[in-house]
Structure 1
Amino acid sequence: MDPRARIALLIDADNSSAKKLDLILSELSKLGETSIRRAYGNWTKPGLRPWTEVLHANAIQPIQQFDYSRGKNASDMAMVVDAMALLYNDHPDAFGIVSSDADFTPLVMHLRAKGAQVYGFGEAKTPEPFQTACTKFLRLDQLSEPEEEVVEPVSAAAEPVAEPVAEPAAAAAPTTKRTTARKKAATAAAAAASKTTDAPSSSRRSPADLKGDARLVRMLRNAAEGAADEDGWARVSTIGQYISNQSSFDSRNYGYGSLIKLLKAIELFEIRDEGKQSLSVRDKRRAKG
């Protein structure tokens, strides 16, 4: 999407947590400018206090909506009415809908039918119809800040002792310093390389789990086949575009920071490095044939 695209962010505060707000805004900033920001709820409820603490700091307009009947909140309807008014009067390029409520599915479908992109944010329990209706849906439990890379200091006792080298005594000290510096640099580089921006391993799907997800396997294989050349090889970037045109898929929902990491983890594809940061994959079934 054009980085100058105008995005309207609508938050169902009654069915969302305020803890991930910074990450939601960060994701939307990659897609355009979130020029309209509104959160809907009955702000007299103590349960919404965490939201009240972050609204003003993030320039989000709170929309008060009292409950008209016990056990039900009227925020959903107010949010739908506002979304329709924005669609026809302000004409934003995209909407960000923060909710785990499937009742917004018809709204999302209508917004997309009128040409607007819709980016959904919700919990893993969000019903599938709402997730798949969105241009892209991100599960907030999988959305996390990249871990900071912390390099532990290397103790002198832990360093291997260099073999003695027959050199003039005057040159021995500088050589030892250079050797130690190189070892520390190598240790730091190895520690940094071991860090990733994927989700924690506890939330990352294993290869067996990925292969057992029939819908995921079918989608990846169909996308690879649709983007493949006559030899069966398909560029990962083309596969990603193919998938984005037909579903709300995001690899982070499975615990992997990028599509290529997911394709490697599922172990159903051959991987080929074509240079210039370009990778291609081929269905292993095609290779056997």
Structure 2
Amino acid sequence: MNTDLPPFALLIDADNVARDALAAIIEDLTRDARIAVRRVYGDFTTQHLAAWRDVIANHGFHPVQQYRNSVGKNSSDSALIIDAMDLLHSGRFAGFCLVSSDGDFTRLATRIREDGLRMYGYGRNDAAKSFVNACERFTYIEHLLEPTSRATLALDREEASKSVEATPPPTAGLAAATAVAAGTPCIRAAVEASPLDPLRLQTQLLRAHANVAEEDGWALMARVAQYVRANQSDFDPRHHGASSFSRLLEATAVFDVVLRKKGNGQTHFCRPKKTLTQPIASHHLNRAVPADYVQALRDAASKSQGPDGWLSALVIGQQMKAMGRDLKDSGCATLYEALAATGLFEMRATNGSREFRLREVHRG
């Protein structure tokens, strides 16, 4: 056992997680923490939690039995919260890990962070957003499971939904996971939280880089990852099909990545490519923009473009305003969406900002 890792208390709400996710959660958490306390809460006399008995024993958990004293009420939530506060006040832990998808734990998560402790969360892809955001780091358990385990996950959730006393309504996430259990072909994204579209992901990464970059434009890759995580607790490279943050950066094709000397060793630095032409997302191209607004965008770009044809959305927006055109006339939420939907422009990222150019400028 690595005693150098910070001690964590791992508390699991059995009503809100599948038993087959337990091993994957432990494996993921022990990369960064030493699990000093392992407790799982629920009414294990009920049918849908009876199968937890062997799993609890195999992983060394202390089960906290909580009978349902009222129909429709989950008394294990209260027991978990009380125990968490007792453990918090003991001062023995560097952090907590709560495994649940229930928004009722939001205040507990924020209270733990207020004491300066780390707060990690694990839950389903339909976890309450308030709880997700209250955690310092939140991991969707669907990311951790192999396809066969996902099938068991779906069955567990179906079992729980049949319980007379429990019963959250079916959700889109449950429907997708059930499809896996039934053998329906289903890509990974169908049972995970929907990933950001490529352009939003690139923008997020570029913004993170801009906030942590050094004077020469290079930034420690680890600091970029840390910044993204700090601003989006459920950010996970696996959510985008990458096994690590470095592989995610490589896959976006937005950054140059180099190994540079730092201190007594070497570490990875990244910097946006000097000029990066990016495709316009296909779902933007399917939107209809009124013909007169499209012509106005063409005219605005033609009047404002530089020698190489490239110009920023800000410049186009100012020209459109001078022409008396209003964004609401486009039917789009942002000028970027309007520019993308016309199909007239190509886009590039230059040192963290977007620029546009009429396609016809460089055709011949």
User: TM-score scaled by structure 1?
Assistant: 0.71
AA aligned opposite 1:264: E
The 5 A counterparts of 1:1-289 are 3-144=4-145, 202-203=187-188, 210-211=196-197, 214=200, 216-248=201-233, 249-267=235-253, 269-274=254-259, 276=266, 278-282=268-272, 284=276, 285-287=349-351
CA deviation string 1:193-223 (max 9, x = no partner): xxxxxxxx93269xxx643574x44432221
Q: Distance in 2 between matches of 1:17 and 1:32?
A: 22
Change (3 A) 1:77 1:255: farther
Change (3 A) 1:218 1:109: farther
Give how far 1:37 is off.
Answer: 0.6
Q: Distance in 1 between matches of 2:33 and 2:222?
A: 21
Secondary structure of the structure 1 residue equivalent to 2:132: helix
Change (3 A) 1:129 1:259: same
Kept in 2: contact 1:93–1:116 (CA 8 A): yes
AA aligned opposite 1:286: T
Give percent identity, aligned residues only. Answer: 33
Kept in 2: contact 1:120–1:138 (CA 8 A): yes
Q: Distance in 2 between matches of 1:24 and 1:272?
A: 31
Q: Distance in 1 between matches of 2:257 and 2:241?
A: 23
Kept in 1: contact 2:249–2:255 (CA 8 A): no
Q: Which has the higher contact order (CA 8 A, sep 6+)?
A: 1
Following TM superposition, where does structure 1 have runs of at least 4 consecutive aligned residues deviating by more than 4 angstroms?
none
Of stretches 49-58 and 257-266 in structure 1, the one that deviates more from structure 2 is 257-266
Q: Distance in 1 between matches of 2:271 and 2:189?
A: 22
User: TM-score scaled by structure 2?
Assistant: 0.57
AA aligned opposite 1:223: A
Secondary structure of the structure 1 residue equivalent to 2:142: coil
Q: Distance in 1 between matches of 2:139 and 2:250?
A: 21
CA RMSD in angstroms, aligned pairs only: 2.8
Secondary structure of the structure 2 residue equivalent to 1:53: helix
Change (3 A) 1:7 1:76: same
CA deviation string 1:243-276 (max 9, x = no partner): 2344322222333211122223334x13233355
Give how far 1:231 is off.
Answer: 4.8
**Structure 2 gaps, min length 5:** 147-185, 261-265, 277-348, 356-364
Give how far 1:52 is off.
Answer: 1.2
